[in-house]
Structure 1
Amino acid sequence: MTTSRKSRRRTVSKATSQEDLISQFESGQGVSKKSQQMLDGLKERDKSKESEVHDDPLFKTPSELDRVLVDYIQPQADNSRYLPVTFAKKADEESIAALDDCVVCEKGVLENRLSKDNPRYDAVNQEIEEIRNLAETLKHSELVHPIAVWRKNMSDYPIVAGHRRFYAIRFLYGGLIKVKVKIYAEKPKNLNVLRHIENFSRSDLTPPDALSSYAKAVRELENLEAATIQSDRISVVTSYLGISRTSFFRYDKLYENIEFVMPLLENKIVTSLVALYEEIKKAEEHQDAQRYLETLNAQRKFLKYLPPETLKKPGRAKKYITMPKVKVTQTSAIRRLLTEDVTQLDVGIDWGKVDFEDAAMVEKVLKALLTALSK
């Protein structure tokens, strides 16, 4: 007798899609308890980190990198690195040659055509030399730090930072090329702070430009951080600008007196910010800083501070007459003094001007009279 076997029933599992696997993994299905704990720990850590730092400016920046036509990039006159450049309307030799009393920056041309009596003439020459050196470097290497701009419109990109890089690129290649730049979608609220950080990273900033850069940045902070800066000025300024406490005290003191200090720096009456700061501190000890700075501007010469002379208190008025010492050989003079009307003698004394109430004067008259009578 043959017993028929029942055929084995084969169960075929349904294919699982990749999305299902990911879903199962995230929900914990098919994952060991230990693995799930590790996954939860990582999620929690990332979540906490994001809440702590990802809203900071370093991570949440409203900027992007893109290429912009050099002609669309605009230097800003209120930047310490600005040069009084006039761009030719046409890139032909005749148009470039016609430019006058300005700095010319076109392809292959970088010239100082300012009048020699312009107060910035020498500084511009020095700046042009630096730009030429930078241009020479850019021939052989990439631009490590792109020019930073903000988008005013699609053909106007004011420079936030990078004026010298802009001039160097325009000098090398002209205005009809595109260059990679960092673009802010709108004008940064801390524009002057960004400029100051950029400018202060260089050692060749002139004293007036350095103080001007600091002043603009601090005024901006006084608006942005009005409440905090009132109570903790030093922390706010040093934190935002990345400067030491020593630099803060120095620049803030000069900023405090900027209306008197800036003319001294611009006219090169003072060339050292440190030296001027030290003298202002000395003057403040005598509540004399403003007079001291006004004196420097008036004399157009840097002088160390000297405190005003302290007037001596008047002594007591002399009440008694001290008779001069008389030698034995002068006894005849005493006799004449006592027996003659000495006011009628020609002894060189103007009796009309003698104040007999002034003991000191009477003493001098007696001494002069005895000397004359002894002859």
Structure 2
Amino acid sequence: MNNISLEQSIASALNHSEANRILIEQAYEFKSVFVNRIKPDSSNPRFFPAVFIQDVHAYQMRERKLTKAQLVKLYNAQDKVLIGKGCIVNCLNYGTNEWKKANRTIESILELAENVAVAEIIQVPTLFPIGEGDYQILTGHRRFFALIYVNGVDAASHFKVYEQCPVLPKTKQFQENASREDLPQLGKLAAFGDALLEIEALNKIRKQKGFKALTVRETAGILGISTGAYDNYNVLTRYPAVSSAYSDGCSMAFVPMKKLILKIEQEYKKEIGATVLNATNAQEVNRRIASYLSGEKNAEHSKKQTRNYRVDKLVSTNALMTLLKSDVTTLDTGISWNEVDWDNHKQVKETLTTLVEFLNNRD
């Protein structure tokens, strides 16, 4: 969007369109574009550090006339992925998480390439111009890489090309990620976070123009998901430990992950006797989620947290003797001892207060 800020772009769009039309009223056309004029979007959750190989070098690599080391030196591709016609090489540090993530992406690209080789892409990648005859990918990064693998960098292919960068590009990307069942969870969560930042900017401009902020239902509609799915994403992006787990290869589906998060939250609220979690509490919940997902056997998390209790002031020795020598659970204190939740810190404190008041009032 050149030097125009996101907020300026949204403000301009709102002068000509309603908020729910911003993502619809985007002029585009289908056209052929040479692959070597297209740039990936490094801020896209589907991006990985690829370097494109000239067709001649890809051929030499396939024919074993060039080694991996020679290609890495030729393209300065250390810690990147080389990709060209019939050739894709992971040059990241072997065995690291980044190397493993790149390998998973490579596998999905090769699967797509098998389909591209025998049939046309039904949903072509989308682009927008960035000047001097070049374009940037908006959606369809893996499909784009598959095209390079099948046809090489000197070929032309068919793309959906917008006249200019859409007003809410990250929201566009999320719409596609959310509707694709085959995409990894991490990419969907990252896309949701990016899209939400755009929606927040949209709401800010709407308020400045005298309009109300979008409701949850309207926001979910713009994102192209149900309100239930919107709530799922909100819970899943609440704690950094979740994204970190997916980044490290966690394959747990979204619904079980949400249930786990809510369970850990509820257990911690019960433990500290709170109904709302503050920032410090959230850090502890995040730590417990990380521990659970990493499979750590942390005694601190597997055992009940030690709590201190303070007995209120007893006004007489008789009250003290009754407390120390008698079975207070048999006294007519009005306390339903069988209903006390001894794991609930707040409830135990309230029970002790009631008991002390009873003993003091007996004298």
Structure 2 length-normalised TM: 0.63
Among 299, 319, 330, the residue aligned to 2:317? 319
Residues 1:156 and 2:134 aligned together: yes
| CA distances 1:10-45 after superposition (whole Å, capped 9, x unpaired) | xxxxxxxxxxxxxxxxxxxxxxxxxxxxxxxxxxxx
Q: Distance in 1 between matches of 2:292 and 2:262?
A: 19
Helix, strand or coil for the counterpart of 2:164? coil
- C-alpha distance 275-114 of structure 1, shift in aligned 2 (>3 A): farther
Structure 1 residue corresponding to 2:51, chosen from 83, 86, 90: 86
Unaligned runs of 5+ in 1: 1-51, 325-375
Relative to 1, partners in 2 of residues 1:296 and 1:269: Cα closer, same or farther, differing over 3 Å?
Answer: farther
Q: Which has the larger radius of gyration?
A: 1
The Cα of 1:83 is off from its aligned counterpart by 1.8
Decide which of 71, 78, 82 is 1:100's aligned counterpart: 78
Is this contact kept in 2: 1:269–1:302, CA < 8 A?
A: no
For residues 313 and 150 of structure 1, what CA distance do their matches in structure 2 show? 66
Give the letter for the 2:317 counterpart.
K
DSSP-derived class of the 1:151 partner: strand
Distance 2:24 2:85 in 1: 37
- Structure 2: give runs of 5+ residues left out of the alignment: 1-16, 61-65, 326-363
1:277 counterpart (255, 261, 278): 261
Report deviation, 1:252.
1.5
SS in 2 for 1:164: helix
Q: Measure the CA separation in 2 of the matches of 1:75 and 1:128.
A: 15
Q: Distance in 2 between matches of 1:62 and 1:306?
A: 59
Aligned-partner Cα distance in 1 for 2:160–2:250 = 39
Deviation digits for residues 311-336 of structure 1 (CA, Å, limit 9, x no counterpart) = 444266683679x9xxxxxxxxxxxx
SS in 2 for 1:187: coil
**Secondary structure of the structure 1 residue equivalent to 2:118:** coil
Aligned to 1:188: 166
1:252 to 234, 246, 265: 234
Q: What is the alpha-carbon distance in structure 2 between the residues aligned to residue 284 and residue 233 of structure 1?
A: 28
Q: CA deviation at 1:236?
A: 2.7
- Matches of 2:25 and 2:219, distance apart in 1: 22
Aligned with residue 39 of structure 2, among 74, 78, 86: 74
SS in 1 for 2:317: coil
Quick one: structure 1 residues 110 and 177, their matched pair in 2 at CA, closer, same or farther if it must change by over 3 Å? same
Q: How far did residue 170 of structure 1 move?
A: 0.3
Call closer, same or farther: CA 1:60–1:312 in 2, change over 3 Å. Answer: closer
CA distance in 2, matches of 1:144, 1:277: 37
Q: Is the 8 A contact 2:82 2:89 kept in 1?
A: yes
Equivalent residue, structure 2, for 1:359: none
Identity of aligned residues (%): 22
Residue type at the aligned position of 2:86 = G
The residue number in structure 2 matching 1:65 is: 30
Judging changes above 3 Å, is the alpha-carbon distance between structure 1 residues 235 and 152 closer, same or farther for their aligned structure 2 residues?
same
Q: 1:290 to 1:101 in 2, by over 3 A?
A: closer
TM-fit CA distance, 1:284: 5.5
Aligned to 1:266: 247
Q: For this pair of structures, how many residues does the alignment match?
A: 270
Q: 2: CA distance between counterparts of 1:171 and 1:298?
A: 40
Superposition map of 1:234-253 within 5 A? 234-253=216-235
Q: Structure 1 length normalisation: TM-score?
A: 0.61
Query: Which residue number corresponds to residue 131 of structure 1?
Result: 109
| 1:75 to 1:173, Cα distance in 2 relative to 1, 3 A | same
